[in-house]
A and B are shown apart, each in its own frame.
Chain A
């Protein structure tokens, strides 16, 4: 039986493993009803300790008292920032140097520490970040079933799904939805309604699986293989050759090479679920390289995510932009994601002979 996510346990593990004494004591002193809303701890050299609670900033005193006044907060010593940095790297900076260059370190439990300091270049490439000045520990939380209703619109038949592109501006939940879709595709849904497919995740920025020492910290389903830290274009080719996936999942399409690799996967009969930054379908279509993937013979379903007055919404459309449904705010889930209300989805379960891994071309009439 699946063990429920225990945020307190995860937080305690994080505190005892990584935080220096004074900061640990301060965070542990925060009252439980505030602690459950803690999203980030911001630790800056020579500046007050700060926490982000449900999107709002508060300074944290030595005893864990929250305030908008920075005077009463615990001032972090430069030595503590350095000590925290070494603890985050498990006293082995070299083992995390690729992560450090990318600006963050993935921690046990899927949490993430963003790093700031002085950037060292070698030619035009970042070689290292030295003199670490601030660290932002962001608490990860997998929102299971947030994509359950969207997923109903992406099922072609019980053994196949539509090639799907998820579009939204930043911070609208693309990656969270993609992660849950991956879990649902891999795991299957209901009593034989959708059986689950072999899924490959190319996790270029370690955001989907949040692998820690090779072990995914997020649940991506039982049929999922993860290629961590690999470029999308190279990863798709590697997965096609080595792992025979039925579905490949990639986050944040952008480069022209990504488009070529996706076409390669489609030619091999593999389904693609991808995300991209865009305000809408037309916006995405204007993108050089990847934009053409949304046209004819491209993605068959487009999921558009957005936010109105702090409330998230989702729309599912076909390749021509015809909407399958719109969202009402009343369908907003407690976790911040919206439920999709069913309408006009008769075609979703229409039987289709082609399965994800056997088709000669990526497209089939829907």
Chain B
């Protein structure tokens, strides 16, 4: 459980990095969303998000649906592979609905706002590692000790 908390924090940090890349592809290069998703998914440092972004790009390309709908479909199918909490998914869900629906200036604001949201989630994840993580570790040690005492 403690490991999952660490993975959650890593996944959020990785998504913040990906958003920076996505911001460049959208706001500076003006690449259409489905191509931008596929591009960031193919980057070697996308980690656990790689397959999700590639699939999201594919779904948009083939089904001609918007980013929000494509994201929901893909997360329903592949979301289990990413160690995020339900509350994290909830915070992230609204953002994808807004992607692609306005000009570059507006998209930049949306992406900046989402970056702030992600940083907040990451901060909470770090705090959870410090509090819950320590609790889980201590519980583990105490349980081990209890088992040893019982055996003696």
Contacts and interface: CB of A to CB of B under 8 A. Distances in A.
Interface stretch (A34-42, A88-96, A106-114, A217-225): A88-96
A91 B107 contact: no
Contacts of A93: 100-103
B102 to A, nearest CB: 6
Given A86-B66, A91-B65, A97 B104 contact: yes
B49 interface: no
A327 interface: no
Contacts of B30: 94-95, 97
Determine the interface band of chain A, counting residues with CB < 8 A from chain B: 10 to 19
B31 interface: yes
A128 interface: yes
- Highest count of chain A CB atoms <10 Å: which of B26, B100, B102, B104: B100
Contact of B64 (A17, A97, A127): A17
Interface string B45-75: 0000000000000001000111100000000
Contacts of B104: 94, 97
Contacts of B34: 90-92
A87 interface: yes
B18 interface: no
B32 A92 contact: yes
A103 to B, nearest CB: 15
A94 B64 contact: no
B33 interface: yes
A90 B30 CA distance: 12
B66 A95 contact: no
A97 B26 CA distance: 12
A94 B103 CA distance: 4
B102 A94 contact: yes
A237 B72 CA distance: 48
B128 interface: no
A89 B100 CA distance: 9
B27 interface: yes
Nearest to B67: A91
B107 A94 contact: yes
A99 to B, nearest CB: 11
B103 A97 contact: yes
A91 B60 contact: yes
Among the interface residues A86, A95, A97, which one has the most CB atoms of the partner chain B within 10 A?
Answer: A95
Given A17-B64, A86-B66, A91 B33 contact: yes
Nearest to A100: B103
Interface in B62-108: 64-67, 100-104, 106-107
A290 B143 CA distance: 90
A90 B65 CA distance: 9
A93 B102 CA distance: 5
Contacts of A92: 26, 31-34, 100
B90 to A, nearest CB: 23
Contact of A95 (B31, B64, B65): B31
B66 A90 contact: no
Interface string A274-298: 0000000000000000000000000
Nearest to B36: A92
Nearest to A127: B103
Contacts of B102: 93-94
A92 B106 CA distance: 12
Contacts of B31: 92, 95
A351 B20 CA distance: 61
Contacts of B66: 86, 91
Interface string A304-341: 00000000000000000000000000000000000000
Contacts of B26: 92, 94-95
Rank and list the top 6 A-B pairs by shortest CB-CB distance, nearest first.
A92-B32, A92-B100, A94-B104, A95-B32, A92-B33, A90-B32
Interface of B: 26-27, 30-34, 60, 64-67, 100-104, 106-107
22 contacts: A17-B64, A86-B66, A86-B100, A87-B64, A89-B100, A90-B32, A90-B33, A91-B60, A91-B66, A91-B67, A92-B33, A92-B34, A93-B102, A94-B30, A94-B106, A94-B107, A95-B26, A95-B30, A95-B31, A95-B33, A97-B30, A128-B103
Interface of A: 17, 86-87, 89-95, 97, 127-128
Given A86-B100, A90-B33, 13 more contacts: A86-B66, A87-B64, A90-B32, A90-B34, A91-B64, A91-B100, A91-B101, A93-B100, A94-B100, A94-B103, A94-B104, A95-B31, A95-B33
